[in-house]
Amino acid sequence: MQMMRSLLIGTLLVAGSFASPAFADWWIVRSSDGTCLVVDIEPTGKDKSLTKIGKDSYPTADLAEADVKLLCKETAQPKTHSEEGR
């Protein structure tokens, strides 16, 4: 019984670590040149060339991109942390 409980806890921990990215938040930022981007890393305010706009965060990139159409004139370009060189 103890072994089954340990196996169940281990399985839940492993499954939880893979599920985390599915619950990632998204943000809309406007760069200094006016381009709007949907990003998966929360803007910290350290980069003065980016301004966070819209809601505090979005549960999906699709929802953030839908708001971009209301907040920005051009279409948002999704940006992931692999593209950030800062």
pLDDT in tens, 35-55: 999 999 998 889 889 999 998
In-domain check, residue 51: yes
Per-residue pLDDT band at 22 (split at 50, 70, 90): low
What is the value of pTM for the model shown? 0.59
Which pair of tokens denotes residue 45?
């305010």
In-domain check, residue 57: yes
In-domain check, residue 33: yes
Q: Into how many domains does the chain fold?
A: 1
In-domain check, residue 48: yes
pLDDT (mean) for 8-19 = 50
* Secondary structure class of 13 (helix, strand, coil): helix
In-domain check, residue 47: yes
For residues 50 and 52, what is the distance between their CA atoms, to the nearest angstrom? 7
Q: What is the pLDDT of residues 50-80, one digit of tens each?
A: 999 998 899 999 999 999 999 987 544 566 6
Structural domain containing residue 46:
24-79
Average pLDDT score over the chain:
75
In-domain check, residue 28: yes
In-domain check, residue 30: yes
**H helices, E strands: number in the chain:** 2, 4
